[in-house]
Structure 1
Amino acid sequence: MSEQSQSFSTDKAPEPVGAYPHARKVGNLLFLSGVGPRKPGTKEIPGVTLNEAGEITAYDVAVQTQSVIDNIRIILEASGSSLEQVVDVQVFLTNMKDDFPIFNKVYADTFAPIGATRTTIEVGALPTPIAVEFKVIATV
């Protein structure tokens, strides 16, 4: 890894579900890996009810969205940045039709004052039983 590039991981955020760091700094930019709503240090997913087979029986996208934002805050701060330094957000939703208005309200409470750019995409599934995931770029 070059002197200009540095990876960050923190045990205060949920453990990545794959072989990647929480974030990588290149120059004055910080690129976060996809961040979901899982609670740090556990497998618990706020706002998700699973049956015994591990299938989603109910979920609350507002609770999940707030949990994602909380996890992003933790990762940014551990990497020397902050929510106020976010410049771009990619959002992945598994149900755009039903979840977008609720997600958008929770998102706006935090990000509207920041003015970050955003792209929101509907996906068929995410790697864990979640309804929302963010990918973030911030300055350091």
Structure 2
Amino acid sequence: MSQKEIIATNKAPQAIGPYSQAVKVGDTVYLSGQIPLIPETMELIAGDIKAQAQQVFNNLTEVAAAAGGSLDDAVKVNISLTDLGDFAEVNEVMAGVFKQPFPARACVQVAALPKGASIEVEVILSL
């Protein structure tokens, strides 16, 4: 059985619960869901859904780097939105973050997210 390696960086928001920013097992890295928190203040970024989505992907980029990879290594992305009306804008941001071939993805609407966030994204990397 592969050893678990806990991934942590100060360049992304610290966990707001009993979880790790990411866990690496073998060549697979599981990045915990990120909401649009500014790492230095742990406050939600101001702005529309595009600004929030960009902050989320910035946070995920830093965690991926701490794991020795990048979002180019993403194989699966799970997006939770409090309003599926934001779907098109989030797609625009995602298209600027990921290159083809794009990772697999799910996007669902949820009733609420931590700290009143509008978006949360989790990613699985294959290094």
State if a TM-score over 0.5 links the two structures.
Answer: yes
User: Which residue among 57, 61, 76 is the counterpart of 1:73?
Assistant: 61
Equivalent residue, structure 2, for 1:17: 16
User: Which residue among 100, 105, 111 is the counterpart of 1:124?
Assistant: 111
Report the Cα offset of residue 75 of structure 1: 0.3
Q: TM-score if structure 2 supplies the norm length?
A: 0.93
Q: Is the 8 A contact 1:47 1:61 kept in 2?
A: no
Q: TM-score if structure 1 supplies the norm length?
A: 0.85
Q: Secondary structure of 1:104's match?
A: helix
Q: Secondary structure of 1:109's match?
A: helix
Report the Cα offset of residue 27 of structure 1: 1.2
Identical pairs, percent: 35
Equivalent residue, structure 2, for 1:7: 6
Report the Cα offset of residue 102 of structure 1: 1.0
Q: Is the 8 A contact 2:72 2:99 kept in 1?
A: no
Letter in 2 for 1:91: I
Task: Determine which structure has more spread, i.e. the larger CA radius of gyration.
Answer: 1
Rounded to whole Å, the distance in 2 between the matches of 1:100 and 1:132 is: 10
User: Number of residue pairs matched?
Assistant: 127
Rounded to whole Å, the distance in 2 between the matches of 1:41 and 1:81 is: 22
Q: Secondary structure of 2:15's match?
A: coil
Letter in 1 for 2:65: E
Q: Secondary structure of 1:33's match?
A: strand
Unaligned runs of 5+ in 1: 49-59
Unaligned runs of 5+ in 2: none
Rounded to whole Å, the distance in 2 between the matches of 1:114 and 1:85 is: 11
Equivalent residue, structure 2, for 1:95: 83
Q: Where do 4+ consecutive residues of structure 1 move more than 6 Å? A: none
Report the Cα offset of residue 72 of structure 1: 0.4
User: Which residue among 117, 124, 127 is the counterpart of 1:137?
Assistant: 124
Q: CA RMSD in A?
A: 1.4
Instruction: Deviation per CA, 1:89-128: give whole Å up to 9, x if none.
Output: 00000000x2111111111121243510100010000011
